[in-house]
A = this chain, B = another copy of it.
Amino acid sequence: MEKRVAVLPGDGIGPEVIESAVKVLEVIGRRFEHTFEMNYGAIGGTAIDTCNNPLPEETVALCEASDAVLLGAVGGPKWDQNPSALRPEKGLLAIRKHFDLFANLRPVKAVPSLLHASPLKEKVAKNVDMLIVRELTGGLYFGEPSRHTEKSAVDTLVYTREEIERIVEKSFELARLRKSKVASVDKANVLESSKLWREVVEEKKKAYPDIEVEHMLVDSTAMKLITNPGAFDVIVTENMFGDILSDEASVITGSLGVLPSASIRADGFGLYEPVHGSAPEIAGLGLANPAAAILSAAMMLRYSFGMNEEAAVIEEAVNTVFEDGFFTADLVEPGKRVLSTKEWTEKVIDEI
């Protein structure tokens, strides 16, 4: 197959980890006889510096001409004092909205060889294997009015039935490929938008009798993610709750540095990026963990290109390297040898 990938390295450690992911994609391409045509574009702080726009038109055009987008990370203190429109994360929000990337998928799975880095007791963290499905283009993030004066401020949490339907359906479809359990998270005891959300879930589940559906409140979910995270399979929720809960979930297994994410559109086009941030304090030092970026590339193969076997090969290679005891600085245990970003990537490539 021939696929075009828009590569947006972004800021901080973004370029380093993306370099690793690109290398891995090239190796996969050779082994499975695919051609990945990679074209680079600017986003975030780097794009502000060069084009005065966190999402330049050229980048949009590049993505439109591609089959998927691979992104590093955006942001950094350099741009923190910028006005709203010139902040790196605006690029991220704009690309999500422009390409209608309504479904954000964040798998969190315990890796036995990384549990030492988990803040949770091993018995609590060890069975974690969940997929958080976050609505990404609606709710408080994009609702109008959204403005403030000196005296007061307003944001608007708005959802249409269609917006809820498509994300709920997506979560049911994804649950079918897993343990067929969905926890739909809302705040239906307070919010009207959550009541509509719950109605839609009740309606949609009729067409999915094989899926076990549970409604949970966002506050109880925030607790259960710590007390019994192994009980979750798929979690589906709206944009803001998903932002908070997926970040909470990302640290429970000690493997934040290795978590990938996908943000996809109905037709399979998608944007793939590590969950971790741009970590400007360690940028350029070869300390970054490229696992999340590499696994994001694997998600791209699976969800946008239908290359399930290729994705599995990458995931297994990453797992084996961890099991063999090779770690970058973020995960290494005292006294063990630290591998650089490049060295660790070479280990993965050797496995493939």
Contacts and interface: CB of A to CB of B under 8 A. Distances in A.
Contacts of A197: 153
A248 to B, nearest CB: 4
Given A157-B155, A227-B251, A218 B193 contact: no
A191 B155 contact: yes
A321 interface: no
A157 B160 contact: no
How many copies of this protein are present in the complex? 2
A156 B156 contact: yes
Interface string A204-237: 0000000000000011101101110000000000
A146 B252 CA distance: 34
Contact of A193 (B155, B223, B247): B155
B240 A252 contact: no
B226 A155 contact: no
Task: Give the bracket for the number of chain A residues in contact with chain B.
Answer: 35 or more
Interface in A92-143: 93, 118-121, 124, 140-141, 143
Given A189-B87, A247-B223, A196 B153 contact: yes
A154 interface: yes
B151 A161 contact: yes
Contacts of A151: 160-161
A152 B124 CA distance: 39
A263 interface: no
A270 to B, nearest CB: 21
24 contacts: A84-B195, A87-B189, A89-B190, A93-B190, A119-B121, A119-B124, A140-B191, A141-B190, A146-B192, A148-B195, A152-B160, A153-B158, A153-B195, A153-B197, A154-B156, A154-B192, A155-B156, A155-B191, A218-B244, A223-B247, A223-B251, A223-B256, A226-B226, A241-B244
Nearest to A188: B84
A153 B187 CA distance: 13
Contacts of A36: none
Given A119-B124, A220-B247, A150 B154 contact: no
Contacts of A245: 222
A250 interface: yes
A31 interface: no
Contact of A159 (B140, B153, B218): B153
A343 interface: no
Nearest to A92: B189
